[in-house]
């Protein structure tokens, strides 16, 4: 019997490269797709097949094309490598062959994970705490009610689906919110079906958040049983105030692990997941802030910790019986090397004491046994060196922290 083949999109992103390497090492058939001729994942020695496709961000072209490929059987499984691709998988749920469709997360559960207003409702039903948040129905409502919100606050997308990589911004008072609050430009097809996603949510900036960011990542079986799970702590991010993680440490906290797994099982049900938490320094409570129903940016960390999430995902998606993994390694540190080193260099210039772990490190893409993708990935990042430097140069002290600002009454 021929093993089902996995389509891998987002071919310039670390998650897609991790999938390509993981499944390729295991001899599983994959095909990397991209509108570009030479995306990063294609350069991996583990990429055995490549094809061009419409731009995934162009929903009007990409979704009908992918639906035809699924219905014809030319594509059988799709690696969940980003919020957008996870959304597309949910949108095209009925186009998958029945034997694969039955093992995918329910479309409504994926949307509950991806859309923050629905995620907050799902957390409440699961008994999980979340930061205070507001979801204005219009720009005018947000500006009129600005004085009633807590500050500092974060304006950020309800979802990256249709909005792209917009990270949001911190606003310090009502006047700043009124100036900053506006609708995001959106992909037209998503905007027509989910127009409320264009409006930013307003979320409490939890004091001390930058020192208390944690994740639980893993994969759940068909009945929500834990196949693999590990906890980690975000030690640095880029940009410093609202950004992607550039350093993660292993975390051994049974309570955190149990909370993350339980929440993923209650909201998502099955499949790959990453739950993000803030440990509220005021109360010690765990506040859930995100549930990603796909491979996260530091999935190479899980793989190095002996939780090969892409491979486990594949085995579950194809109906194999998979035993729970052993506890994850706890002696590693993960880094996004280029911004991590820039941060260290800038902080040294500012006279800040050096920080970081001496544990063996795992990189976001660098792999001595498969070096070509790393070179291409770094070359792309170096096209705009100012974007690497500016966020750290603007930060005060070791990192910018708005935690000292006063919280207005709610």
Structure tokens at 166: 């917009």
Same domain, 47 and 151: no
- Kindly report the pTM of this predicted structure: 0.92
Q: Find the mean pLDDT for residues 389-404.
A: 56
**pLDDT digit string, tens, across residues 241-277:** 778 899 999 999 999 999 999 999 999 999 999 999 9
Q: What pLDDT is stored for residue 399 in this prediction? A: 46
Question: How many folded domains does the chain comprise?
Answer: 3
Same domain, 283 and 386: yes
Q: Which of 62, 88, 104 is the last residue of a domain?
A: 104
Bridge partners (DSSP) listed for residue 7: 31, 78
User: Which of the residue ranges 165-169, 229-233, 395-399 has the most confident prediction, judged by mean pLDDT?
Assistant: 229-233
Same domain, 154 and 252: no
Question: 83 with 190: CB under 8 angstroms?
Answer: no
- CATH of residue 87's domain is 3.40.50.720
**pLDDT digit string, tens, across residues 63-75:** 999 999 999 999 9
Same domain, 367 and 295: yes
Query: What proportion of the chain, given as a percentage, has pLDDT over 70?
Result: 94
Query: What proportion of the chain, given as a percentage, has pLDDT over 90?
Result: 80
Residue 115 lies in a domain: no
- Give the integer Cα–Cα distance in Å for 68 and 165: 28
Same domain, 150 and 15: no
- CATH of residue 339's domain is 3.30.470.20
Same domain, 234 and 368: yes
Same domain, 336 and 283: yes
Q: Which of 204, 229, 248 is the last residue of a domain?
A: 204
Residue 410 lies in a domain: no
What is the extent of the structural domain holding 11? Answer: 6-104
Cβ-Cβ contacts under 8 Å for 326 (sequence gap 6 or more): 306
Please give the C-alpha separations between residue 327 and each of 201, 250, 252, 296, 306, in angstroms, as whole numbers.
37, 12, 10, 19, 8
Same domain, 314 and 240: yes
Phi-psi bin for 87: left (phi > 0), alpha (psi -120 to 50), beta?
alpha
Helix (H, G, I), strand (E, B) or coil at 23: helix
Backbone angles phi, psi at 67, to 5 degrees: -60, -45
Q: Which of 146, 177, 204 is the last residue of a domain?
A: 204
**pLDDT digit string, tens, across residues 312-356:** 999 999 999 999 999 999 999 999 998 888 888 887 877 777 666
Same domain, 214 and 190: no
Residue 362 lies in a domain: yes
Please give the C-alpha separations between residue 113 and each of 60, 131, 196, in angstroms, as whole numbers.
24, 16, 16
- CATH of residue 137's domain is 3.30.1490
Residue 124 lies in a domain: no
Alpha helices, DSSP H, located in 73-115? 83-91, 98-101, 107-114
Residue 118 lies in a domain: no
Backbone angles phi, psi at 170, to 5 degrees: -95, 130
């Amino acid at each position: 019997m021929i093993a089902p083949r996995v389509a891998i999109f987002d071919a310039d992103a670390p998650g897609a490269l991790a999938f390509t390497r993981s499944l390729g090492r295991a001899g599983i058939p994959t095909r990397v797709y991209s509108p570009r001729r030479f995306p990063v994942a294609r350069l991996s020695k583990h990429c055995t097949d490549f094809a061009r496709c419409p731009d995934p961000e162009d929903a009007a072209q990409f979704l009908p094309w992918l639906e035809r490929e699924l219905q014809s059987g030319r594509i059988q499984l799709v690696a969940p490598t980003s919020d957008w691709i996870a959304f597309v998988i949910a949108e095209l749920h009925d186009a998958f062959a029945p034997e694969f469709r039955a093992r995918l997360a329910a479309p409504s559960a994926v949307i509950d994970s991806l859309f923050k207003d629905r995620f907050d409702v799902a957390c409440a039903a699961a008994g999980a705490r979340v930061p205070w948040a507001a979801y204005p129905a219009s720009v005018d409502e947000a500006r009129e009610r600005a004085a009633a919100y807590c500050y500092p606050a974060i304006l950020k997308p309800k979802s990256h689906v249709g909005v792209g990589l917009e990270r949001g911004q911190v606003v310090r008072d009502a006047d700043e919110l009124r100036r900053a609050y506006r609708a995001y430009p959106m992909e037209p097809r998503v905007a027509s079906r989910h127009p409320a996603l264009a409006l930013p949510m307003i979320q409490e900036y939890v004091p001390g958040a930058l020192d208390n960011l944690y994740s639980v990542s893993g994969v759940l079986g068909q009945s929500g049983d834990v196949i693999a799970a590990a906890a980690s702590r975000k030690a640095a991010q880029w940009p410093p105030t609202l950004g992607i993680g550039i350093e993660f440490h292993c975390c051994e906290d049974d309570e955190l692990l149990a909370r993350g797994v339980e929440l993923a099982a209650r909201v998502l049900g099955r499949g790959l997941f990453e739950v993000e938490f803030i440990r509220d320094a005021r109360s010690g409570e765990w506040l859930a802030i995100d549930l990603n129903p796909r491979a996260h940016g530091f999935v190479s960390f899980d793989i190095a910790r002996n939780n090969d999430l892409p491979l486990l995902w594949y085995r579950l998606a194809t109906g194999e019986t998979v035993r729970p993994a052993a506890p994850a390694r706890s002696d590693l540190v993960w880094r996004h090397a280029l911004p991590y080193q820039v941060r260290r260099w800038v902080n040294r210039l500012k006279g800040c004491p050096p920080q970081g772990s001496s544990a063996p490190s795992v990189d976001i893409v660098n792999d001595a046994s498969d070096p070509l993708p790393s070179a291409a990935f770094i070359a792309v990042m170096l096209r705009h060196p100012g974007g690497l430097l500016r966020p750290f140069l603007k930060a005060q002290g070791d990192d910018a922290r708005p935690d000292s600002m006063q919280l207005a009454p709610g």
